[in-house]
A and B are shown apart, each in its own frame.
Chain A
Amino acid sequence: MAKHIQVKDLDIYYDEFLAVQGVSMTIEPRSVTALIGPSGCGKSTFLRSLNRMHELVPKAKVEGQVAINGRDIYGNNVDPVDIRSEIGMVFQRPNPFPTMSIYENVAAGIRLTGARMKRSEIDDLVERSLRSANLWNEVKDRLHKPGGGISGGQQQRLCIARAIAVDPAVLLMDEPCSALDPISTQAIEDLINDLKPDYTIVIVTHNMQQAARVSDTTGFFNLADVGQPGRLIEMDTTAKIFSAPREQATEDYITGRFG
C-alpha cells in the first residue's frame, strides 16, 4: 500500500520565478519524512508538487521528475486527478467542508468523486477512518452534526480521517499542527506514529522538536538569499541531522543560530 517516491532534479516555478531548484530525494515507504527550513524556502511548494497541487496556481510549472513506485507523475498521459487519489493531503488550517456533517466530510472523498458504494460500506469506511484518526470516540454520537462544530484539533483529525478514507498510498502534511494547541498537537503526532506502518508520510513543519519526535528522515531546505531559489541542503536520518549534520547551515538552523 505505502509507496516509494523518487524525486530527481526538480525545479519549481511560479511563472518566471524559480522558487525551488534542483531537488533530488528518495522517500522510503512506511516512513515519516520531515521537511524543515526557514519560511519561504520552498518546503510547502515542494510538498505541493508531489501531488500536482502546485500547478493549480496560475502559470505555475514544474520541471524534473517525480516518480511514485517508478511511475512519473508528470508524464504525458497522467491525469492529476488520478495522482491525487493516491496521495492524500492535510493542510495547515483545518478545512472541513462547512456544508457537510462529520459523517459526510469523511465520506466526501467517495461521494464527491462519484464512486458508487453501498450505504453499509460507507458506514464501515467512516467508522474505520475515524478510528484510525483517533476521533471515533469523540464524535460517534454526533456524526450528523456539522463538521465545523468541533474543536480545531478535532477538525484537523477529521481532515486526516477524510484524507485516509480514500485509501491513499502517501500522506502529505503541510504544517498540520501550526494552528493547534499542544494537546491537539500531541494527538496528531501520536496519530502520525500510528499511521506510519501503512503509509508514506511527508510532513512539513516549523517545529524542530516535532520533526525530531515524529520523523525517521529529515530534509533541510534553505535559500541563499531573498529572491534566490530554495534548495534541499541536506537530507539524512533524523538522528543524524539533529546530532551531527554535515552542513554548517543545517547546524546553525537546528541550534537556532540562524541568520
Chain B
Amino acid sequence: MSVPTRTERETDLLRTETAPVRRTLPPWVPYAVLAAAIAVGGAAALAGVSAGLGAVLTVVLYAACVVTVSRLVEGPRKAKDRVVTTVVTSAFLLALVPLISVLATVISRGTARMDVEFFSFSMRGVVGEGGGVYHAITGTLMITGLATLISVPVGMLCGVYLVEYARGKLAAVITFFVDVMTGIPSIVAGLFAYALFALILGPGVRMGVMGAVALSVLMIPVVVRSTEEMLKLVPNELREAAYALAVPKWRMILKVVIPTALAGIATGVTLAIARVIGETAPLLVTVGITQSVNLNPFDGRMATLPVSAYYQYVNPGVPPDPALDRAWAAALLLIIIVMALNLVARLISRRFAPEAGG
C-alpha cells in the first residue's frame, strides 16, 4: 500500500476548508446561567410571587439567556440544540414533580403510623387513637387474589384463542372490544358487578366476591392484551417444530408456546394486579367497608386498603388527626405493595425468560 502524498497546496486547502475555528461555550457557562436564573427566580418567589411562578421564571430566563449567548458564540445550530435540551430537561422535571411530591408527602405523613398495632389490629371498637388496618389488608389480599383467580384463566385462554385459533373478522372484533374494555371507567365495572349480583341475590347485597368480579372486569383486558402480545412474540418456527414432531395442536400450545411466553405473561399479570389493587370506586360500590375482620368473601362487607383510607378521610371523627394518620399510612402501604409487585414483575421477567446462552 502506498501512502498518499499531498502537495503543500492541497494541505493548505484542506486546512482552511475542513478546520474552521470552532467556538464552543466553556462547559461551566450553562451552569452559571442556571445559577443566576435560580437566584432571580428564588428572589422573585421570596418577594411574594408564588413558588410555581418563580420556577417558570427561572426556566424561561435560563432558556433565553443560554440561547442568546450560544447563538452569539456557537452559531444557530448549537443554539437549537440547547433550546431542545432545555425543553426536554424541563419536561422531564415537570413530569417528576407530581411523583416526587406525592411520594414525599405520603412518606412523611404515612410513616407515623407504620407500627405493629397498625398491621395487627382492625378498627373494631376503635374511637380516636390506635387501631389498624389488619382487616383491610386481609380484605385487599383476598379480593385481589380472587380477582386474579378469575382473570388469569379467562384472560389467558382468551389470549390463546386470539393468537392460536381465531381467524379473520371475529378475532378483529374481539381485539377491538378488549381494547375498549381496557379504557372502561372503574366505577362502571363496579356498577356492573353490583347490578349482576343484585339481579341474582336482590338489591343491597354486599360481598367480597362482588369486588373481585368488578376488579376482574378491569383486569381481564390487561391480561388478554399482555398474553396476546407475548404469544405473538413466540417464533412460528417453534410451532412448526412441534407440529413436525407429530405433536397435536393443544399440546403444542400447552408445552411449547405457553412455556416460552410464560415470563412475559406472568409479568403482565403482575402489572395488572398492581393496576387494580389500588382501585377504590368499584370496591366502594360492591364491597363497602366494615370495621372488623371478615375472612369470608361470600358473606357481607369487607374492608380494603383504598376504601378504608377513603373512609378514614371522609369520616375522621373527633379529633380527626388519628384517622388522618391512619389514612396516610394506608396510602403508603398501598404504594409499597404496588412497588413490590412491580419489582416482582421485573424479577419474574429476568429469572424465567427462556435462556439463550448456556
Which A residues fall within an 8 A CB radius of B? 51, 53, 56, 58, 81-85, 88-89, 91, 93, 95-99, 108-109, 111-114, 142, 145-146, 148-150, 159, 162-163, 166
B358 contacts which chain A residues (CB < 8 A)? 142, 145-146, 148-150
Q: Which of B167, B238, B252 gathers most chain A CB within 10 Å?
A: B238
Compute how far the CA of A111 lies from the CA of B256 in the bound complex, rounded to whole angstroms: 11
Q: Are B167 and A58 in contact (CB under 8 A)?
A: yes
Q: Does B237 contact A (CB under 8 A)?
A: yes
Compute how far the CA of A150 lies from the CA of B356 in the bound complex, rounded to whole angstroms: 9
Q: Are A112 and B356 in contact (CB under 8 A)?
A: no
Task: Name the 3 nearest CB pairs between A and B, nearest first.
Answer: A149-B358, A85-B246, A98-B354
Q: Are B251 and A53 in contact (CB under 8 A)?
A: no
B262 contacts which chain A residues (CB < 8 A)? 99
Contact of B237 among A51, A95, A149 (CB under 8 A): A95
Distance in Å from the Cβ of A140 to the closest Cβ of chain B? 14
B357 contacts which chain A residues (CB < 8 A)? 146, 148-149
B355 contacts which chain A residues (CB < 8 A)? 98, 146, 148-149
Distance in Å from the Cβ of A59 to the closest Cβ of chain B? 9
A95-B235, A113-B251 known; A53+B354 contact, CB < 8 A: no
Q: Which of A113, A146, A159 gathers most chain B CB within 10 Å?
A: A113
Distance in Å from the Cβ of B187 to the closest Cβ of chain A? 41
Say whether chain B's binding surface is mostly helix, strand, loop, or mixed.
helix
A148 contacts which chain B residues (CB < 8 A)? 354-358
- A sample of 17 inter-chain contacts (CB < 8 A) reads A53-B243, A58-B167, A84-B243, A84-B245, A85-B246, A91-B237, A97-B241, A97-B242, A112-B247, A112-B255, A113-B248, A146-B354, A146-B358, A148-B358, A149-B357, A149-B358, A159-B241
Q: Are A82 and B356 in contact (CB under 8 A)?
A: no
Contact of A112 among B167, B240, B252, B354 (CB under 8 A): B252
The interface size bin for chain B is 20 to 34
Compute how far the CA of A84 lies from the CA of B256 in the bound complex, rounded to whole angstroms: 17
Compute how far the CA of A81 lies from the CA of B243 in the bound complex, rounded to whole angstroms: 8
A142-B358, A146-B354, A149-B355 known; A97+B243 contact, CB < 8 A: no
A89 contacts which chain B residues (CB < 8 A)? 240, 244
Q: Does B42 contact A (CB under 8 A)?
A: no
Distance in Å from the Cβ of A162 to the closest Cβ of chain B? 7
The total of Cβ contacts below 8 Å across the A-B interface reads: 92
In B192-240, which residues have CB < 8 Å from any A CB? Answer: 235, 237-238, 240
Distance in Å from the Cβ of A3 to the closest Cβ of chain B? 15
Compute how far the CA of A91 lies from the CA of B241 in the bound complex, rounded to whole angstroms: 8
Chain B 346-358 near chain A by CB (<8 Å), digits 1 or 0: 0000000011111
Q: Are B246 and A82 in contact (CB under 8 A)?
A: yes
Q: Are A93 and B237 in contact (CB under 8 A)?
A: yes
Compute how far the CA of A83 lies from the CA of B248 in the bound complex, rounded to whole angstroms: 12
Q: Does B260 contact A (CB under 8 A)?
A: yes
Q: Does B300 contact A (CB under 8 A)?
A: no
Q: Are A53 and B240 in contact (CB under 8 A)?
A: yes
Q: Are A97 and B260 in contact (CB under 8 A)?
A: yes
Q: Does B259 contact A (CB under 8 A)?
A: yes
By beta carbon, the residue of chain B nearest A166 is B245
A146-B358, A148-B354 known; A98+B260 contact, CB < 8 A: yes
Distance in Å from the Cβ of B349 to the closest Cβ of chain A? 14
B243 contacts which chain A residues (CB < 8 A)? 53, 56, 84
B252 contacts which chain A residues (CB < 8 A)? 112
Distance in Å from the Cβ of B85 to the closest Cβ of chain A? 42
Compute how far the CA of A122 lies from the CA of B198 in the bound complex, rounded to whole angstroms: 57
Distance in Å from the Cβ of A130 to the closest Cβ of chain B? 16
In B163-196, which residues have CB < 8 Å from any A CB? Answer: 167
Q: Are B241 and A113 in contact (CB under 8 A)?
A: no
B244 contacts which chain A residues (CB < 8 A)? 51, 53, 84, 88-89, 91, 163
Q: Are A97 and B238 in contact (CB under 8 A)?
A: yes
Distance in Å from the Cβ of B248 to the closest Cβ of chain A? 5
Distance in Å from the Cβ of B166 to the closest Cβ of chain A? 11
Q: Are A146 and B356 in contact (CB under 8 A)?
A: yes
B354 contacts which chain A residues (CB < 8 A)? 98-99, 146, 148
Chain B 119-155 near chain A by CB (<8 Å), digits 1 or 0: 0000000000000000000000000000000000000
B255 contacts which chain A residues (CB < 8 A)? 111-112
B251 contacts which chain A residues (CB < 8 A)? 112-114
Distance in Å from the Cβ of B233 to the closest Cβ of chain A? 12
Q: Which of B235, B241, B256 gathers most chain A CB within 10 Å?
A: B241
Compute how far the CA of A246 lies from the CA of B235 in the bound complex, rounded to whole angstroms: 42
Compute how far the CA of A5 lies from the CA of B255 in the bound complex, rounded to whole angstroms: 32
A53 contacts which chain B residues (CB < 8 A)? 240, 243-244
B247 contacts which chain A residues (CB < 8 A)? 81, 108-109, 112-113
Compute how far the CA of A98 lies from the CA of B235 in the bound complex, rounded to whole angstroms: 10
Q: Are A113 and B237 in contact (CB under 8 A)?
A: no
Contact of A91 among B240, B246, B248, B259 (CB under 8 A): B240
Q: Are A112 and B256 in contact (CB under 8 A)?
A: yes
Compute how far the CA of A150 lies from the CA of B357 in the bound complex, rounded to whole angstroms: 8
B241 contacts which chain A residues (CB < 8 A)? 91, 95-97, 159, 162
A97 contacts which chain B residues (CB < 8 A)? 238, 241-242, 256, 260
In B250-307, which residues have CB < 8 Å from any A CB? Answer: 251-252, 255-256, 259-260, 262
B240 contacts which chain A residues (CB < 8 A)? 53, 56, 89, 91, 95
B237 contacts which chain A residues (CB < 8 A)? 91, 93, 95
